[in-house]
Each structure stands twice: as C-alpha cells, then as structure tokens.
Amino acid sequence: MKSKAILITIVMLLPIIVYASGLDNTKVDWWIVREKDHKTPRVNDKLSYKLEDYDAYYVGDTEKPVLYLTFDEGYENGQTGAILDSLKENDVPAIFFVTSPYLADNADLITRMVDEGHLVVNHSHHHPSMPKYAINARDFALEFKDVEDKYEKITGKSMVKLFRPPMGHYSQKSLAMTKDLGYQTIFWSFAYADFDVNKQPDPTNARKLISENFHNGAIILLHAVSKTNAQILGDVIKDAKAQGYTFELWPYPGAKESKELKDLDDNAESDDNTESEDTADSADDSTESAEPAL
C-alpha cells in the first residue's frame, strides 16, 4: 500500500520535474518601489520572463479602485482576534496566508476566519526559501500539501490554491513548480516594516503611510503579529473607503462559482427562516385565539 502511494506521488510529480528541470533556479527577492499620487509601484523589470506566465501576480485590476487586504500568519501573537473584529465591524474580507504550525496551534481562529467569509490560504509548511526546495519536486510539493491537509482537517474544505512565497523569495523554477501544483503566486504591491513585535511602528505614522499608498488593484501585505496593525486597521479601512476604494477577495479560479453556491445557500437559508417565521406567526395567532373570551 505504501509503495503504491509513493508510486502515485512520483507519477503526479513527473510533469513538474520534466517541465521545470530546464528553468533558472536563481533566487530572486521580491521588491517594489513606491510611487506618489496613488500610482502603481514599480517592480523588478530585469526578469527574463513574465510573472503572469507562471500565474504570479503583485497587483489586481488597476482600472478599478479595489484593494486586496492580505495578512501573513506564521505564528499567533494575540492580535488576530482584534484584526478579525475590525474586519467584521467594517464588513471587509481579507486573505490570510498561513503556515502549518499556525494551523496546528490556532484551529479556533482558522474556523472563525472561514466562518466570517475570509480566505485562508497557503504560506508553506516550514516557511523556507522556495528556490532551495525547488531542487527536489517531492520536498517542494510537500511544503504545500501539509498545509492543505491541516486546513482540510480543521474546516472539512479544500484549500483555495493561492500561495505567498515566504520572505518573497522565488525563482523562475519555483514559480513554474508552484503553477504546476495548481497554485497562483500572490506577491504584494504594498508592505512595510510591521513584522518585528519588539520594534513596532508608530500607529499614526503607520496609518498615514498605508493610506498614502493605496492604489487601484493594490495587494496590501500586513503581518498579523503586529500590535500596530491591530490598532489602526479600522481607521485604515475607513480611510480607504473615504478615498473611494472597496475591498474584495482575490478573484481566484473558481471564485465566481463559489460565490454563486454561497448565494444559493444563503437564499435557501433565508427561505427556511422565512418559513419558520411564518409558522411561528401562525402559532402565535392560534394561541391568541385559543385564549378564553373575557
């Protein structure tokens, strides 16, 4: 049985091995250069390939005033609950990129994220530099699968296949292998130094910096360990809405179908509630008429 499972894994990985074997595996660091006046940031234009060819993106629809709010979750620092509160209060969806240890230690928070309409997606098992793992197709694939399995165990659902490379490290080969596993790679068009819990940015300055860098289609990366982010998130959301922006989930493959199914479920639940209310009203009328006349 074990040999059969190994054989199946090898067969599944063969296309990845063959396709990616000739690609460049030189590690590249993701970076952006901020622009003024809410313009799309500049990125590395020296690559010999297009990110889109490997389903890798750093920005969404630049024709629409839409923002994609994302959080990286490597470990819990007691701030995620407050972040979820702000998202709920402001009716804003977000995308949480999580690691295996985070899933293992925070099932309740994961369940809450999903129940409140957020996406919980893949940030790898060990949080490695992915080009290092791209030399071995099996090890590379396991970085994704362990996260998928833990998520499904908690939620009973399959994980949406969005991936953020740890530390923003990537290569042409790692992007190709990620795509062949069915994933889109999601980088970012805004991030700032919010990840050091012992050196948190000033809340006023942080709010100003984030708000000044909104732009159409922005993918905003925030770290959920940040106390500053938890404190200012509600105000940042209000700033964005005041500037005419809306917040959306990333339009991943199958997103439209998932939304349609959810709408059907919501409508069915609404119909059930209406029927129950009608029945309750009838029962109340019946009870009232059964009372003795005075």
Give the residue numbers marked as catalytic: 72, 223
Closest CA to 250 of 123, 139, 144, 163: 163
Q: Taking a C-beta distance cutoff of 8 angstroms, is the pair 68, 222 a contact?
A: no
Q: Cα separation of 200 and 231, whole Å?
A: 11
Tokens of 244: 């005419």
Q: Cα separation of 235 and 247, whole Å?
A: 14
Question: CA 158, 181, 260 angle in degrees (round to 5)?
Answer: 40
Distance of CA 46 to the CA centre of its chain: 28
Q: Cα separation of 221 and 262, whole Å?
A: 27
Q: Cα separation of 164 and 143, whole Å?
A: 12
Q: Cα separation of 201 and 192, whole Å?
A: 9
